Structure 1
Amino acid sequence: MSTGPEDPEPRWAVPPVGGWTADDLDTLPNLPPHTQLIDASLVLRPPQTVFHMRAVDFFTWQLQSCAPHELEVVREFTIDIDRHNRPEPDVVVVRADVVEGLGQTRFPADGVLLAIEVVSEESVTRDRETKPVKYARAKIPHYWRVENHDDRAVVHVFELEPSTGAYTSTGIFHDRMKVSVPFPVDLDLTAITARRRAAEPQ
C-alpha cells in the first residue's frame, strides 16, 4: 500500500530566535494539550502514570471540598510568571477574583496561593529544582511536591520565607497530611495508592 508524503514538521517544533513567549501558547497551531513554557522552551506532557492521575484527582477533589468560597481549585492550568515562563502546575489554588471568564486560559501568578506538582520520572529536576525557584520568585506563598515512594504518596510542603524570597520546608507527610495553611486540610494520603475495589456482583 502506498503512503502519502510525510506530514510537515509542526510550526512549534522549531523555536524562533529568543525562544517562545507566554502568549505563543494560545496561538501556536496544533500544540499538544498541556504544553508548558519553561525558560522560553516548550515542555510537552509525557504519558501519564496511574499514580500521577490519581494524585491529581485526589488533591483536586479534596481541596475543592474544603477550600473557602473566596478561593478556587483548578487542575492542570497554566500560570503567567513572566514573558518566557508559563508553567502548568498539576493543581493550583487561586483567588476567585482572578477567574475572569470561561474562556480564560491562564492565571496571573500573583493570584495563586498554592501550586502543587506531582513528580513523574521525566519531571524530577523541574519539580524539585526549576519550578520551585520560579514559583518562589513569583511570590507564590505555598508549594507542595507529591512523590511516589515505593507505591506510597509522600508530600513535601514548602512555604515562602518573606525575608529570603525562597521556600522553606515546613513538613514531609506520609499516610496522613494535616496542615493549617493556606487553609486547614486533613488528608488521608493512603487513598491515592489504595487498590480500587471492584463493585460487588449483584
Structure 2
Amino acid sequence: MDASGGARRSRLGHCRDRVGRLDGVLGVSSPHGIAMILRFVLFQCVWLCCAFGAVWEMPIVGIAAALACVGGCIATDPSPRRALLLQVLVAMIGLLGESALVAGGIVAYASPWPSPKLAPAWIVALWMAFGTTLRDTSALLGKRAKLLAGLLGFLLAPASYLGAERMGAVAFERPMLHVWFAIAILWAMAYPTLLALDERVHPRAPLA
C-alpha cells in the first residue's frame, strides 16, 4: 500500500514539474503571458470581424476592428513611433503579397474595396492586426523563430484561407493544389520577413 502510494506521489510530483516547466515557457502566470494570450485571442476576433464583414458587404466592420486593435497596441507600446513604422511596413507587405495573389488569378476577395485588382482594404487591415502578434511569436518560437515561422506559414496559412473560403470571404480561382501552394509560398516568405522587420525596426526587451 505504501509503495503504491509512494509511486502515485512520485508520478504526481513529476507531472507538477512538467506543468511548471511548460508554464515557465509560456509565461502564462506572468502579466506578459496573460497579455500574450489576450493579443492572440484579440487577433482571432479581428479575423472573424474581417471575414464576416467582407461576407456581409460591410468591410468597414473588420477594418474598424483591426484598426482599433492596432491603435490600442501602438498607444500602449513603449516606442509608439517604432510600432507605427512596423505597422506601415506590415501593411505594405500585406498589400503587395495579397495583390500578387489577386493579380495572379489565384484568389478573389469579397468586398474588394477599393479595387478588385488589388488586395482589399480589409485584408490589409487584417495583416496589420496580425502584426501585433509578431513579438509574441518570436518569444514562443525562440532562437529559431524565423525558420519555424516559415514552416508554420507554409503548412498552416493555407488552412486559414480555406476557412475564409468556406465562409465566403474569398473565392479560389484556380485548382485547390495551385491555390494552396501559392498561399503557402507567400507565407513561407512573408512570416519570417515580418519577424525580421519586427526585430530590426522595433527592437524590444525579451518578454519576462
Shorter-chain TM-score range: under 0.3
> Which structure features the higher share of strand residues?
1
Q: What is the TM-score of this pair, normalised by structure 2?
A: 0.27
Kindly indicate which of the two structures has a greater share of residues assigned to helix.
Answer: 2
| Larger RCO of the pair (alpha carbons < 8 Å, separation 6+) | 2
TM value normalised by structure 1: 0.27
Tell me which structure has the larger Cα radius of gyration. Answer: 2
